[in-house]
A = this chain, B = another copy of it.
Amino acid sequence: MADAQDPPGQGLLFLTDEQLRKGAEAMFFAYRGFTADPDRILDKYGYGRAHHRAIHFIRRSPGTTVNNLLAILGVTKQSLNRVLRTLIEDGLVESRVGARDKRERNLFLTEAGMALEHEISSAQRARLRAAFLEAGPDAVSGFRKVLEAMMDPELRRHYKRTGGK
């Protein structure tokens, strides 16, 4: 098959199947590390990754609508609603009827919501910061380039929408 030994390293990109498999494994193991700290914190409060995702994107875009979140998260409204309902009941998220369009709900983090978001994202950022420092500036720029190239075009839009660069 196409699997063979690695060719001698060069400037050009010789991408053997083994190198690509290794890249896939890197994504798998790194994602585990990436979510480990948030998962531990969320568990303390009886929440899961789904809550984290909602909280993250509400913080990123305060006043965002439910439909907006659905597009970004790629889940059904029933799934998202279950998560949002508990966050609202627990007083972490506030849902305000839209000013212009009263069918819409604008979502915001409350003080308590901001606090949890901060606790989680601090831990996640600490891990990322350590990894970035260990790998160095050039590596970080490459990291971002590859990840961006790996996204579905539609999600890439959502990624580039904020903060840029």
B24 touches A151 (CB 8 A): no
How extensive is the interface on chain A, given as a class?
Answer: 35 or more
Please classify the interface of chain A as helix (H, G, I), strand (E, B), loop, or mixed, using the class held by over half of its residues. helix
Please report A residues at the B interface, Cβ cutoff 8 Å: 1, 6, 11-13, 15, 17-18, 20-34, 36, 53, 56, 60, 74, 118, 121, 124-125, 127-152, 155-156, 158-159, 162-163, 165
Q: What distance in Å separates the Cβ of A20 from its nearest Cβ neighbour in chain B?
A: 4
Copies in the complex: 2
21 CB < 8 A contacts A-B: A13-B137, A20-B128, A23-B143, A24-B125, A24-B128, A25-B159, A26-B147, A26-B148, A27-B30, A27-B31, A27-B147, A29-B152, A30-B148, A30-B150, A32-B74, A34-B150, A131-B146, A135-B148, A139-B141, A141-B142, A143-B146
